[in-house]
Chain A
Amino acid sequence: MEYLTAVRWSPYAVGIGIGILSWLSFLISRKPIACSTTFAKTSGMIEKLFRGKKVDLKPYYQKEKLAVDWQWMLVVGIIIGSYISARLSGDFNRQWVPSVWASAFGGGPALRIAAALAGGILLGFGARWADGCTSGHGISGTMQLAVSSWISGICFFIGGIISAHIIFKIFG
């Protein structure tokens, strides 16, 4: 039981665990683990609350139907699983500003929230443009040796490494 209450596991143990989880999701659910489409569907569902059924007719939502599905529940599960893990180890904490951000840009929540919002917009937009994210392309797609996923995964990190250096070394 000590494992369950440990704050950190070896990254290799975690990676192998995710790899085995992928075997099971292919075998049992016939689906690769992925996350970002859920945000597009949720965005459409919220829009539908305000604008009604015509949102379903948008070409993108004809391709990705606006309904709660396997992947949507997976994302809900991630919140629960992370919460359980953090609670078991005492690592749960309500925090507005992460320490690396605070050391460069100060502890004020407003700037951090604004950056998270702007970053989220780019991330959500880019995930739809590339048709996948760090899990769908970066882990599940690369392990299937999909060309689209290797290109995307490498570009995620090229874009991320360059941008992080600009943010922290030039502005920070």
Chain B
Amino acid sequence: METAKATDKPKRETASLIQGLVFGILFGFLLQKGGATKYDVIIEQLLLEDFTVLKIMLSAVLTGMIGIYAMKEMGWVKLYPKSGSAGKNIIGGLIFGAGFALLGYCPGTIAGAVGNGYLDAAAGGLAGILIGSGIFAELYPGLRRGILAKGDFGDLTLPKLLKVNDWAVIVPVAALIFILLLSIERAGF
């Protein structure tokens, strides 16, 4: 199937699989240490009683954003923004949210929950996610040119949308996240 000149392709693919596994082990370790593999922690976030999940996510976004844009500036990495549309991201996001509340795990944390020993995740949740994904794949041909294409805006980023320098967005977003985290702490959560 591969062309003759791509002889080192299998080696590269194996390296990529090993890298994925190592990143996953570290990610799973961190999620478990943060409590994000637990139904109770996730549900209490959605009930606005415990802000652990938001604290983890916002500090990850703050750290990641600064580092990745700095590396982009140096020409070390490129970005992979997903293209989107109103029909895709708003409706899909709300459906996801309803599932998130009923299941109490998300696709990443459910893997962590399985590793943590939680059997509701392993017995019910995993099967559900596989079924839901399969239903979508079945309906995809009908959806892709209809609702999913409504209000398409492509792989836009906030700096491109606002037509400004990257850092003119990064600095205010970083400040906003910082203030938000500070207010959560001040409010006693």
CA distance A80 to B78 in the complex (A): 29
Contact A77 B33 (CB under 8 A): no
Asked if A53 is at the interface of the complex by the 8 Å CB criterion, the answer is: no
Residues of A within 8 A of B125 (CB): 116-117, 119-120
Residues of A within 8 A of B175 (CB): none
- Contact check: which of B68, B71, B104, B106 meets A133 at CB < 8 Å? B106
Interface size class of A (residues with CB under 8 A): 35 or more
Contact B99 A120 (CB under 8 A): yes
* A98 nearest CB across to chain B (Å): 4
Contact A20 B63 (CB under 8 A): yes
Interface size class of B (residues with CB under 8 A): 35 or more
CA distance A23 to B66 in the complex (A): 10
Residue on A with the closest CB to B70? A23
Contact B97 A40 (CB under 8 A): no
Q: Is the interface of A mostly helix, strand, loop or mixed?
A: helix
CA distance A172 to B55 in the complex (A): 27
Contact B24 A145 (CB under 8 A): no
Contact A8 B34 (CB under 8 A): yes
Residues of B within 8 A of A9 (CB): 30, 33-34
Residues of A within 8 A of B137 (CB): 40, 43-44, 58, 60-61, 128
Residue on A with the closest CB to B170? A145
Asked if B183 is at the interface of the complex by the 8 Å CB criterion, the answer is: no
Contact B56 A77 (CB under 8 A): no
Residue on B with the closest CB to A157? B97
Residues of B within 8 A of A21 (CB): 23, 26-27, 30
Q: A18-B60, A27-B77, A70-B16 are in contact. Are A101 and B104 (CB under 8 A)?
A: yes
Interface flags, A61-104, vs B, CB<8A=1, else 0:
10000001111111111111111111001011111111111000
Q: A15-B58, A25-B23, A75-B111 are in contact. Are A125 and B116 (CB under 8 A)?
A: no
Interface flags, A124-155, vs B, CB<8A=1, else 0:
11111111111111111111111111111111
Asked if B179 is at the interface of the complex by the 8 Å CB criterion, the answer is: no
Residues of A within 8 A of B97 (CB): 126, 155-163
Residue on B with the closest CB to A70? B20
Chain A contact residues, CB within 8 Å of chain B: 6, 8-9, 11-12, 14-33, 35-36, 38-40, 42-44, 46-47, 58-61, 68-86, 89, 91-101, 109, 112-168
Q: List 24 A-B contacts (CB under 8 A).
A: A15-B63, A18-B60, A30-B77, A82-B28, A82-B111, A93-B116, A95-B117, A98-B40, A122-B95, A122-B98, A124-B135, A127-B92, A128-B132, A130-B96, A142-B61, A143-B68, A147-B156, A147-B161, A152-B89, A153-B93, A163-B98, A166-B101, A167-B101, A168-B43
Chain B contact residues, CB within 8 Å of chain A: 16-40, 43-44, 46-48, 52, 55-65, 67-68, 71, 76-86, 88-104, 106-121, 123-138, 140-141, 143-144, 148, 153, 155-159, 161, 166, 169-170, 173, 181
